[in-house]
């Protein structure tokens, strides 16, 4: 029996634009997915998932994933979740040259499913690490990140970027542009506050919507490019330890994401609550459509404001997690 964990993430800047080769800066946070893997005598998978903001489910299936868990969540999320696990197991089998290996897989996560905090990337990264180690193979973090990206790319129909999986595997704050992925050093203290509306966004649908806008309207393409400009300016602010400028640029980034149609009433309400509480900046994080916002605030004001914002189900501080994927046992 082998257990690995990997962190979730928030985006300082760059979601959606990163799909088109623009840069992005995601940051790992101290909320983790833990995956425990035990080899089976047959080639089947039994997966038990807990704490993914589902009621939990257990299902056994083969490579074609014929069975589906009966849970009260949107079907695309369940289909994607099972696709991620199937893909992670296939990557582990390939890495270990064990194509018929079967596993019992248990997933425990502090990261809400589909909320924009990188739950799928964390689960895939942790699953690949645990399954390969269970088969006697040790992969370095960069290799795990690459294999995890291949899983997300497949499940998300070619619309994924390397940002989420690289950040989860490596930890800390990272800069991603296309295939160029690197961890940032000497990042200033970033006082993250996260608000969660209890909802989920369909990443594939939201990404496809931005693509359609970008192809139809030149100004939408310009908006995507402007997000890239914000990331480049934001990277400079991080280098200069200018957290106030980082916050201002987060505000700009949210406005552009909203213009691209990926915000929602609840996300906007939480962003404005944070701003009115004098947060340094606030924006949605992830694909959007529901889920989470991230703000920067050194005081308790934003946390308190979010706790009293209608539609915000949970608010919490989130420290930067400097560890990426790691063995738990």
- State both tokens at 123: 């689960």
Per-residue model confidence as pLDDT tens digits over 81-99: 678 999 999 999 999 999 9
Handedness of CA 253, 258, 261, 265 (dihedral sign): positive
Both tokens assigned to 44: 């089947």
Instruction: Write out the H or E segment, with its range, that includes residue 204.
Output: helix 203-216
Q: How far apart are CA 220 and CA 223, in angstroms?
A: 5
- 3 state DSSP class of 103: strand
Neighbours of 80 (CB within 10 A): 20
Residue 281 has pLDDT above 90, yes or no: yes
CB 1 within 8 A of CB 36: yes
Per-residue pLDDT band for 23 (boundaries 50, 70, 90) equals very high
Map out the domains of the chain as residue ranges.
2-184, 192-318
Check residue 50 and give its pLDDT.
64
104 is catalytic: no
| CATH class given for the domain over 192-318 | alpha beta
pLDDT at 14 over 90: yes
* Tens-place pLDDT, residues 189-201: 999 999 999 988 8
- Residue 306: the pLDDT is 98
- pLDDT tens string 59-70: 444 444 445 444
> What is d(CA 171, CA 246) in angstroms, rounded to the nearest whole number?
20
- What is the Cα–Cα distance from 63 to 28, expressed in whole angstroms? 31
Q: What angle do helix axes 218-239 and 203-216 make, rounded to 10 degrees?
A: 120
- Quote the mean pLDDT of the chain: 90
pLDDT-based confidence at 51, cuts 50/70/90?
A: low
Of the candidate CATH numbers 3.30.230.10, 3.30.70.360, 3.40.140.10, 2.40.40.20, the domain formed by 2-184 belongs to 3.30.230.10
Tens-place pLDDT, residues 100-139:
999 999 999 898 877 889 999 999 999 999 999 999 999 9
Q: What DSSP string describes 216-230? A: H-HHHHHHHHHHHHH
Active-site residue (options: 86, 129, 146, 164):
164
For 151-290, list the strands marked E by DSSP: 174-177, 180-183, 192-196, 281-284
Under the banding of pLDDT at 50, 70 and 90, the label for residue 217 is very high
């Amino acid at each position: 029996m082998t257990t690995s964990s990997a962190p979730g993430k928030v985006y300082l800047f760059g979601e959606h634009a990163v799909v088109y080769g623009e840069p992005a800066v995601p940051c790992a946070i101290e909320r983790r997915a833990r995956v425990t893997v035990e080899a089976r005598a047959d080639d089947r998978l039994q997966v038990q998932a807990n704490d993914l903001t589902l009621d939990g489910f257990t299902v056994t299936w083969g490579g074609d994933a014929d069975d589906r868990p009966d849970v009260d969540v949107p079907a695309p999320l369940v289909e994607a979740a099972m696709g991620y696990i199937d893909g992670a197991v296939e990557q582990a089998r390939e890495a270990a040259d064990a194509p018929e290996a079967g596993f019992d897989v248990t997933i425990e996560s502090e990261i809400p499913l589909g909320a924009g905090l990188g739950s799928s990337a964390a689960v895939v990264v942790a699953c690949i690490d645990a399954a390969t180690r269970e088969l006697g193979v040790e992969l370095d973090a960069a290799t795990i990140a690459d294999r995890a990206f291949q899983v997300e790319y497949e499940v998300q129909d070619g619309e994924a970027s390397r940002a989420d999986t690289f950040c989860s595997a490596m930890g800390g704050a990272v800069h991603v542009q296309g295939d160029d992925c690197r961890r940032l050093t000497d990042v200033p203290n970033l006082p993250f506050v996260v608000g969660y509306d209890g909802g989920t966004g369909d990443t594939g649908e939201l990404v496809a919507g931005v693509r359609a806008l970008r192809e139809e309207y030149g100004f939408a393409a310009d908006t995507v490019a402007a997000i890239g400009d914000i990331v480049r300016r934001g990277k400079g602010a991080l280098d200069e330890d200018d957290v106030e400028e980082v916050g201002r640029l987060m505000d700009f980034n949210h406005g552009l994401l909203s213009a691209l149609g990926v915000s929602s009433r609840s996300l906007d309400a939480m962003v404005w609550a944070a701003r009115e509480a004098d947060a340094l900046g606030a924006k949605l994080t992830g694909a959007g459509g529901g889920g989470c916002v991230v703000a920067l605030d050194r005081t308790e004001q934003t946390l308190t404001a979010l706790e009293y914002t209608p539609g915000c189900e949970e608010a919490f501080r989130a420290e930067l997690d400097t560890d990426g994927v790691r063995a738990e046992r």
